[in-house]
Chain A
Amino acid sequence: MQMFVRPVNCHDCGNGFYALGHVIEYAQQQGQEIIDIAGGNANKAPVYAAIDSNNPTHFYGFGHGGNTRFTGDSEQDIFTVNECDKLAGKEVYLLSCLTANALGSAIIQNGATAYAGYRISWTWVSDSGSDGDPYQDLYAKGFYESANELWVALIDGKTFEEAVQAAIDKYNEWIDYWFDENPEAPQSQDAIMWLIHDRNGLVALYPGMVMETAVNWPMIIIGASIAIGLAYYVLKPAPILKRA
């Protein structure tokens, strides 16, 4: 069973809400059992309750995020590095900003069987705002269709690794489209620029792997201490020597 979480009332979440709707529709067409936690229900308590009662094997979440958190409709945390054990035993894909930098590793450490997400601010261009269906927008469609491809590939029965590659391939298709078929469109260069950015920011993690760019606080603290010590050593006033 697959569980989708798609908020709509958070800032600029309309596009993602409708984009995930396409994946849900596709899953239903394929006869797959899904749970759609949408709109105002896409918050911590209803999400946790749905996980407890349905025990889905796959968790697909769209929403705002940061290095250590993934948020819902109210922009309050659903998962954090300190609270993500509900995802144990599941394949997880978060279409969100920056979660691959720390939350992804925490999700794996808490028992998820696979995680995919982004180590960058997932960025898109739209000609029609962020409220409607991005598949109706010349620019936004490529971004959401590429991100959705990972889910679509999993619905088609591909492995997680193959699904990640399918998403990368879809990003590449759209990059080629803007380069080769529609280069004169006013925002074609920025569409390419951000598609490359998002594609390169997609990260997959599995048990036993550690995210290379994860925030490593102990090393940051050690590094900062060394830097401060060196600065003090270099900048401290020279001792005044006096003759007795």
Chain B
Amino acid sequence: MKNLLLKRLEQKLAEGRLSGTYTLEGVYLTPEQVLDEARRGTPFGEEVLFAQKQFMDELKRR
């Protein structure tokens, strides 16, 4: 599952559809850094993967 989510994030980056993110932890991440966090499995990276999963679940639901 993690690989599938990472692949989707990589695809979005290649398509220019992965956005940079701001968080109220005080860090701005570029799209490349968002993907890097997800690859490294940092706490925020885990949130990125979970967010992508929730998005895909919502797509299926619709």
Q: What residues make up the interface of A, taking CB atoms closer than 8 Å to B?
A: 10-12, 15-16, 63-66, 75, 95-98, 120-126, 130, 139, 175, 179, 186-187, 189-194, 196-197, 200
Evaluate contact between A11 and B54: CB separation under 8 angstroms: no
For B51, list chain A residues within 8 Å (CB).
123, 193-194, 196-197
The listed residue with most B CB atoms (<10 A of its CB), out of A124, A126, A189, A196, is A189
- 19 A-B pairs within 8 Å (CB atoms) are namely A12-B23, A15-B22, A64-B26, A97-B24, A123-B23, A123-B47, A125-B20, A125-B22, A130-B28, A179-B62, A187-B19, A189-B12, A189-B55, A190-B19, A192-B55, A192-B58, A193-B55, A197-B54, A200-B54
The complex places the Cα of A12 from the Cα of B21 at a distance, in Å, of 11
- Count of chain B residues near A, Cβ 8 A: 23
Evaluate contact between A64 and B19: CB separation under 8 angstroms: no
Q: Tally of A-B residue pairs with Cβ under 8 A?
A: 82
Q: Is B17 an interface residue (CB 8 A)?
A: yes
A136 CB, nearest partner CB in chain B, Å: 15
For A123, list chain B residues within 8 Å (CB).
21-23, 47, 51
Q: Is B1 an interface residue (CB 8 A)?
A: no
